[in-house]
Structure 1
């Protein structure tokens, strides 16, 4: 019988943790591009999309920052096998929900971005939920201390 106190995570745990780290790092890069309004960031969007982004309220920008930075920290904590990863993934998920509320409900970004806005939103919230559940499962299995 496996002792939960010394449980060794399987290889797929590390694969998920590395993918989570990459995913959240991409989110941070997207946030920084938007925050610093870089030329490479602007080149990805139409004038209408850039106008919508420039009118984003502070609370939605803060939610975006919380979502991506908490997610990145959570991913690093997952790689370090720390239980607090769960709390950080929860904070990230809350940030995602607030951000998506703004994007999909307040400004109706689907009208500007088209169906891709819904697809990306489903991917983002789905991944945030899965990572939260994965970290909870990892705690239950004794992989996180």
Structure 2
């Protein structure tokens, strides 16, 4: 006998769609960074170019894992798959590693404006809330 998930509330499906759109935007930003480097988001300063050139080789891989797992996790939420939990958790870990290293190992917080610190916090908050949502959905039987 197979387990059928219980019907998820409408708000859950709406949030899952919003997370999917968020993840698509993250993938777009990642691809732009791979294509354009420091120039991805705006005309880059000399500092931006030097910072991007100094990123370790694994940095872009972690970025790709963070956004890729976020995208796959959002799709899994919409498909009501239990895979959403580990995928979204991997995305959160990737975000933590990516921004943790960036702020701990560079002087970006001292050089850039306040938005440079705030936006990564927003990204981390969305990732954390996504994990909590996926775990709640699993516990309530909305996915599985």
With normalisation by structure 1, the TM-score equals 0.89
Identify the residue that residue 101 of structure 1 maps to in structure 2: 100
Distance 1:140 1:72, change over 3 A: same
Deviations 1:23-68 (A, max 9, x none): 1111111111111117972634333223212221112221111111
CA–CA separation in structure 2 for the residues paired with 1:34 and 1:71: 17
Distance 1:122 1:69, change over 3 A: same
Query: Helix, strand or coil: the match of 1:37?
Result: helix
Aligned 8 A contact 2:109 2:116 in 1: yes
Aligned 8 A contact 2:38 2:49 in 1: no
Range that drifts further, 31-40 or 110-119: 31-40
Structure 2: which 5+ residue stretches go unaligned?
none
What are the within-5 Å matches in structure 2 for residues 40-55 of structure 1? 41=40, 43-55=42-54
> CA-atom RMSD, angstroms?
1.9
Aligned 8 A contact 1:86 1:135 in 2: yes
| Greater than 3 Å deviation, 4+ residue runs | 42-45
Identify the residue that residue 62 of structure 1 maps to in structure 2: 61
CA–CA separation in structure 1 for the residues paired with 2:59 and 2:37: 19
Structure 1: which 5+ residue stretches go unaligned?
none
CA–CA separation in structure 2 for the residues paired with 1:42 and 1:124: 16
CA–CA separation in structure 2 for the residues paired with 1:61 and 1:38: 10
Equivalent pairs, count: 142
Identify the residue that residue 71 of structure 2 maps to in structure 1: 72
Query: Helix, strand or coil: the match of 1:9?
Result: coil
CA–CA separation in structure 2 for the residues paired with 1:66 and 1:12: 27
CA–CA separation in structure 1 for the residues paired with 2:5 and 2:79: 15
Aligned 8 A contact 1:25 1:72 in 2: yes
Query: Helix, strand or coil: the match of 2:7?
Result: coil
Q: Shift of residue 111 of structure 1?
A: 2.2
